[in-house]
Amino acid sequence: MTKDSIRIVSLIPSGTEILAALGLTDAIVGRSHECDFPSQIRNLPACTQARLNSNAASGEIHNKVNDLLQSALSIYQIKTDLLHQLQPTHIVTQDQCDVCAVSFGEVENALKSLTNTSPQVISLQPDILKDVWNDIARIAEVFDVDSAQVLENLQNRVKTIVDKTQALSPTEIPSIACIEWTEPLMSASNWIPELVTYAGGKPLFSSTGKPSEILKWQDFVNSNPDVIIFMPCGFDLKRTRTEANSLTQKPEWEKLRAVQNNQVYITDGNAYFNRPGPRLADSLEILAEIIHPEIFEYGYQGKGWEKM
């Protein structure tokens, strides 16, 4: 197969961003409805759609997700007719989180309807930062492109921050609560605790490589974090601010150390933290900028994060 004959459908935003970073944007012929970066792929046909209203309140979304999963239905569905028209040679998908993107099972079912072609499926399942780097290398190998420069750049950006934060004393490392969902309250996990640690913070509630967990409000209050960072899955800055404001109505909110010290932040979780691709390096830089502004300034304020 020549590079000119490659036709990729990416069903996960992080996969699309990895392909773009490797110089394969022109080979992408279809995307998921959530793929929006880089901007030129937005004109490509969307091969998936959601079975729920993403504009609903957090609690309503959570309940709908649970209902779908308990009914053995995927939250997202593939437009099999469109997939048939596009005749992909490769499909990039994921087998990690049925809430984040179309499920692997849904992809397998869709492939059964493709009678004239049998595309190669590349399934991503990252839990930590190293897994993301390995995915980049693996995709590069599949398409016979060089990933060395891309990975070197990403790893050097991480190393630049780690080299500086490793010199911090224990008293200079604040406790950080990263919130992935507000109703129910959930801590951010997988690669997030790792990024927080690299950025010079002490992650609360979650362990690196582990799934997100629901937090009891009183446990959150009792932890009394030094810094609170909101990064709800799939939400941009404006939507995140709306969701975060729902917690400010609780009577204990004003008593929290982070609130009293003006150390509460919102981020664009949809563009950065929720996508295990190249922009996790940006996510780390955002965290470093938030947690240690006396050391780092990358210029993400206003587009990647804001103060509450």
Most confident option among 53-62, 138-147, 233-242: 138-147
Mean pLDDT of the region 50-55: 58
Can you read off the two tokens belonging to residue 134? 């390995």
pLDDT of residue 68: 46
pLDDT of residue 59: 59
pLDDT of residue 57: 62
Nearest by Cα to 35 from 302, 285, 275, 279: 275
Contact 8/28 with Cβ under 8 angstroms? Answer: yes
Q: What is the pLDDT of residues 203-229, one digit of tens each?
A: 998 788 788 888 999 999 999 999 999
Give the model's confidence band at 78: pLDDT under 50 very low, under 70 low, under 90 confident, else very high: confident
SS3 203: strand
Residue range 3-125 forms a domain whose CATH class is alpha beta
The one-character DSSP state at 212 is P
Determine the distance from the C-alpha atom of residue 42 to the mean position of all C-alpha atoms in its chain, rounded to a whole number.
18
Examine the pLDDT at 173 and tell me if it is beyond 50: yes
Nearest by Cα to 76 from 108, 56, 97, 106: 106
In angstroms and rounded to an integer, the radius of gyration of the C-alpha atoms of the chain is 20
SS3 144: coil
- The torsion angle over the Cα atoms of residues 272, 149, 32 and 86, rounded to 10 degrees, is 170
What global pTM score does this model have? 0.89
Q: What is the pLDDT of residues 88-126, one digit of tens each?
A: 999 998 775 555 556 666 666 666 666 566 888 898 989
Q: Is the dihedral of CA 59, 210, 165, 271 positive or negative?
A: negative
Instruction: Report the range of poorest mean pLDDT among 28-37, 114-123, 207-216, 290-299.
Output: 114-123
Give the model's confidence band at 3: pLDDT under 50 very low, under 70 low, under 90 confident, else very high: low
Give the model's confidence band at 66: pLDDT under 50 very low, under 70 low, under 90 confident, else very high: low
Domain 150-294 falls in which CATH fold? Rossmann fold (3.40.50)
The beta strand positions in the chain, using DSSP E, are: 8-10, 28-31, 48-50, 76-78, 90-94, 120-124, 175-182, 185-187, 202-203, 227-230, 264-267, 305-307
Q: 150-294: same fold as 3-125?
A: yes
The domain spans of the chain are 3-125, 150-294
Mean pLDDT of the region 8-15: 93
Rounded Cα distance between 204 and 226, Å, is 10
